Structure 1
Amino acid sequence: MTPETASAPTAAPETVNPRRWWALGAMVASMLVLGFDMTILNVALPTIAADLGANTGQLQWMADAYILVFAALMLPAGLLGDRFGRRKMLVAGLVIFLAGSVVGMLAGEVGAVIAARTVMGVGAALVMPLAMSVLPSLFPEHERGKAIGIVTAASAAGLPLGPIVGGRLLDSFWWGSVFAINVPMVAIGIAACALLLPETRDPASPRVDLVSTVLTAAGLGLFTYGIIEAPVRGWGDGLVLGTLAAGAVLIAALVLRERRAVRPMLDLPLLGHRPFLLNTLAATLVMFVLSGLMFVLPPYLQTVLGNDAFGTGVRMLPLMGGLIVSAKVSTPLVERLGARSVIAAGLVVLCFAALLGAGTRTGSGYGYTALWLTIAGLGFGFAMMPAMTTALSVLPQDRAGSGSGLLMTVRQVGGALGIALLGSLLAGAYASELVTTGLPAAAAGTAGESVVAAHAVAGRLGDTALAASADAAYVHGMQVVLLVCAGAALVTAALAALLLPGRAGARPAPAEA
């Protein structure tokens, strides 16, 4: 017994040898790219709007297509890897992601950019869960925690780096460079994963339910389409109401099918467990607000305040800086005060930051923006990390895997809906406040599409009053968005404070954390 136990740790490293660290480097590069693409496009949206004439709804789809497909396919993609080979599916995901990046790099119209982002979402859905699932086959137990931490840090680092890298690329090259940067990094990842990773699978995993996958993708897609189109067509429009209703019906059908399945892809009964549900709700709300803010901030910083693309990326750092600092500090605070107190306090801080942001005026300047962005980042970190960790810690041990999959899926859906709903609120408020009196009908219609388009029209006509009106209208739209964020954060803080269990249920589970 003792010799076998002693020899086991040395056998695994010899099987993979030093190549495991090279393989980890390839996965780090791949995860960094996935993190980039959650945020790198946001800083390019004003430039794309100016070059391709995209309206706010089309910009929402550019951002949402990636996140929606990512969320809808992440669970079935993970199951495909379990059944047919994780290395094979991981390489396939990287190839798909690379193909989408090439399409985006060469795109010359709005539809091609949206299609590229959709394809990239398919690839990301394969890469994200499988990059984590191959680590146990690469690393012995005593190195596994370090490897998981490195890969997770790479994914998280892409979020704040995305706007900065995107801004620098846009200042030096064309907007397609935000896609082009993926090509060499993903190509290296493909070669390294194909050559260095061992093949593993789990034939006992649940089968991929094609019907549930289609219901998820179609339901979320239709529901999001209705939200995005509502400001343009009106909330009473037949197409908007029809797509919203169809989306709701498909999602309801998904819930019924998954509840009756013997081995469901989504472990929906977990949502009946109150601590898991409320912590998931808190994490999802934070993702909802964060994604919406990352969408509405760049046009304000770039078009209204007049910064270049790189300057816009740098000026978003207070938000990410606050998030990183509070995420680090939240762990000892949870140990001392309990998760409930920290999560509720984080949501209150987020509410306060949103209320401060709602006081923004066209002449407020960047200093005021940096203040409330920093406070918002602190609120995000204090609420997000304890909520996610605690949601997993309250799960039964045998349902940790399905629970983490459900948590990540719901959180991604929250991000997609944040862009759709908050972007639509912004578009509607902007269009209602914009003054286009005296403009030709065509020019007025173009100016109403986005603040970037309004500035382009104002530049052609030499109309400074239109540019000033567009700035004021956009700031008004941002105020509406931030007031909604404040209300949602306050309601969720009250629910967390009243309904979450106290310190007894707040101990994090080390493996899942």
Structure 2
Amino acid sequence: MINQGNRRWWVLGALAVGILAVGLDMTILNLALPILATDLHATNRDLQWFADAYNLIFAAMLLPAGLLGDRLGRKRLLIIGLLVFGLASVGCAYASSSLELIVGRALLGLGAALLVPLSMSIIPVLFSEEERPRAIGVWMMANALGIPLGPIVGGWLLNNYWWGSVFLINIPLVIIALIAVSILLPESRCEVNQKVDTIGILASSLGLVSLTYGVIEIGEKEWGDITTLSTIIGGILCLVVFILWEKRSQQPLIDPSLFQSSKFTWGSILAAVISFIMFGVLFVTPQYFQAVQGVNALNSGLRLLPLVFGLLIGAPVSDKLQSKLGTRSTMTLGFLILSAGLAFGANTSMNSGYGFASIWVTIVGFGIGLALPAAMDVAMSPLSAERSGVGSALIMSLRQVGGTMGVAILGTILSSSYRNNLELSGIPEDVTEIVQRSVSAGTAVAQKIGSPALLNSVHASFITGMEMMLWVCGGAAVIGLLLTITFIQKKTDSSRIPQHEQNSIGE
């Protein structure tokens, strides 16, 4: 372990600021889409790619970024990542066409892919086993807070400045992180001289791009679309090829012995399950607040503050509980609370007000705050400093895929239930088509034609879909609970991966 005294906490704090910008970028753009459609003459397809270009590149480059950080130096790659993210933010802010903005968003995804795993990979290098849960809690808090804060910050910026400001907000955050990393962070890298696994990088990147693209398209075209299903199957086949190649490769992108550790395997899986749930909740709640409760985008973001509050309370409590009760007990409690909050939310009715929503959203945030840092700690605990970059990238890749699958699968459940429960008798066919697109479209049409019955049907159908979606989320939380009880050990295992690469951070 590199002993830097309190300096390492300043480094972590600065990186947390940079990670906050990554989280903001995942949601802040959504509020600007109507303005972009007008100012850049963007089509619906362009609007979709403004978001998807970021997600696709981010998912595809996580594993290579971790590998390159281990080989070339984590500090060097972090500085490059911050520079790319900052320059891409400026490029997006001043884009004059849809194509320029799409390219800028792709570069933002590349910068984020460098920042997220590499900022996480320094934790096993800088912090001892006793300090690691607290450090992961700080990192996780910054990563999680940016997502719900995006609509709040974005709404305020769009109310006061032009749309490019939602990207320029990244610049001061990047500068703070860049200065701290350059001055305070020591360089670290894997000392093993290993060639870059080109086939592994191509197979994993293509597989993740295809799978992520296909899952995103499912939300628009549903499961019966042949092209979408072919893309998903192609992505899965590429990932199968990647796994088979890694088993026979002399110098693999991912050390197969990582998965010999039940802690790494199950910690990563449980973190992906939590991301599945969290992204699903963040997908449905803004729609509920805006379309059903009738608030604007800024107020919708403000109504997510109880989730942020729950996370803020849960993360430090998780740190303390892990030291007193152990990681498994902490995760078990987190999944129990998460399940209870989701079950509470699944009982939302037409007459439920914001007070009801604020309670279950707070409970869900608290459960996530307890369980997610603990799961990440379990997954990272077997990683030696030499393998922390690629190991952290793999954990984040699984979380990203889990979150993307959450939006796609849960979103499909929501939209299918919404359409199937609509009462559209006597409604013209052209109006019916618009109403079936989304709850927002249905609400707008019902208000335009002055039909209280249609408005009531639209809202009731959406709430039915949201209830079903939250029950599925609750089921996923129960599965996470059972997996935790079954596979997470009570006591810390003393083994490390691989043995000859152990560093001074003992387990």
Whole-angstrom distance in 1 between the partners of 2:60 and 2:426: 46
Q: Does 1:333 align with 2:321?
A: yes
Q: CA RMSD in A?
A: 4.3
Letter in 1 for 2:18: S
Confirm or deny: 8 A CA contact 1:224 1:420 kept in the other structure: no
Q: Say if 1:207 and 1:507 are closer, same or farther in 2 by CA, change over 3 A.
A: closer
Shift of 1:183: 4.2
Contact 1:60 1:228 in 2 (8 A): no
How has the CA–CA distance of structure 1 residues 140 and 416 changed in structure 2, closer, same or farther, with 3 Å as cutoff?
A: closer
Q: Which residue identity does 1:309 align to in structure 2?
A: A
1:451 correspondence with 2:439: yes
Could you list the per-position Cα deviations for residues 390-433 of structure 1 after superposition, in whole angstroms to 9, with x for gaps in the alignment? 23335578755543333232222222222222223223323333
State the secondary structure of the residue aligned to 1:363. coil
**Distance apart, 1:22 and its partner CA:** 9.9
Q: How does 1:118-133 map to 2 (within 5 A)?
A: 118-131=106-119
In structure 2, distance between residues paired with 1:96 and 1:438: 55
- With over 3 angstroms needed to count, the CA separation of the structure-2 counterparts of 1:194 and 1:79, relative to structure 1, is same
List alignment gaps of at least 5 residues for structure 1. Answer: 1-7
Contact 1:167-1:312 at 8 Å conserved across structures: no
Q: Say which is worse superposed, 502-511 or 456-465, in terms of deviation.
A: 502-511
Question: Cα offset for 1:296?
Answer: 1.9
Specify the alignment match of 1:355 in structure 2: 343
User: Matches of 2:71 and 2:37 in 1, distance apart?
Assistant: 42
Matches within 5 A, 1:50-449: 65-84=53-72, 89-102=77-90, 104-105=92-93, 116-131=104-119, 154-155=142-143, 157-173=145-161, 175-183=163-171, 185-186=173-174, 204=192, 206-230=194-218, 232-394=220-382, 402-439=390-427, 441-449=429-437
- What is residue 486 of structure 1 aligned with on the other side? 474
Confirm or deny: 8 A CA contact 1:46 1:299 kept in the other structure.
no
Q: How does 1:499-510 map to 2 (within 5 A)?
A: 499-505=487-493
Give the TM-score normalised by structure 2.
Answer: 0.80
In 2, are the aligned partners of 1:78 and 1:126 still within 8 Å (CA)?
Answer: yes
Structure 1 residue 104, shift from structure 2 partner: 4.2
Unaligned runs of 5+ in 2: 497-502
Does the 8 Å contact 1:104/1:112 carry over to 2? yes
Deviation at 1:33, TM superposition (A): 1.3
Partners of 1:337 and 1:182 in 2: CA distance: 39
Partner of 1:3: none
Matched, 1:34 2:22: yes
What is the total number of aligned residue pairs between the two structures? 495
Q: State how far apart, in whole Å, the 2-side matches of 1:466 and 1:106 are.
A: 42
The alpha-carbon distance between structure 1 residues 404 and 97, as it changes in their structure 2 partners (threshold 3 A), is closer
Contact 1:289 1:415 in 2 (8 A): yes
- The answer to whether the 8 Å contact 1:358/1:479 transfers is yes
Instruction: Give the structure 1 partner of residue 500 of structure 2.
Output: none
SS of residue matched to 2:224: coil
CA distance in 2, matches of 1:287, 1:369: 20
Q: What is the CA–CA distance in structure 1 between the aligned matches of 2:375 and 2:127, rounded to whole Å?
A: 29
Range with bigger deviation, 232-241 or 101-110: 101-110
User: Relative to structure 1, is the Cα distance of residues 60 and 361 closer, same or farther in structure 2, using a 3 angstrom cutoff?
Assistant: farther
**Which deviations, in whole Å up to 9, do the C-alpha atoms of 1:436-475 show, x marking residues without a partner?**
5555554433333322233343454444444433322322
How far has the Cα of 1:486 moved from its partner? Answer: 0.8
**AA partner of residue 279 (structure 1):** G
Shift of the 183–120 alpha-carbon distance from structure 1 to 2, 3 Å rule, reads same
Q: Normalising by the residue count of structure 1, what TM-score does the alignment of the two structures yield?
A: 0.79
Residue deviations 1:7-43 (CA, integer Å, cap 9, x gap): x99xx99xxxx9x999888755433312322343456
The separation in 1 between residues aligned to 2:48 and 2:477, in whole angstroms, is: 23
Match among 462, 469, 480 for residue 457 of structure 2: 469
| Partners of 2:252 and 2:331 in 1: CA distance | 30
**CA-CA distance at 1:290 after TM superposition:** 0.7
C-alpha deviation, 1:208, in angstroms = 3.5
Q: What SS is found at the alignment partner of 2:295?
A: coil
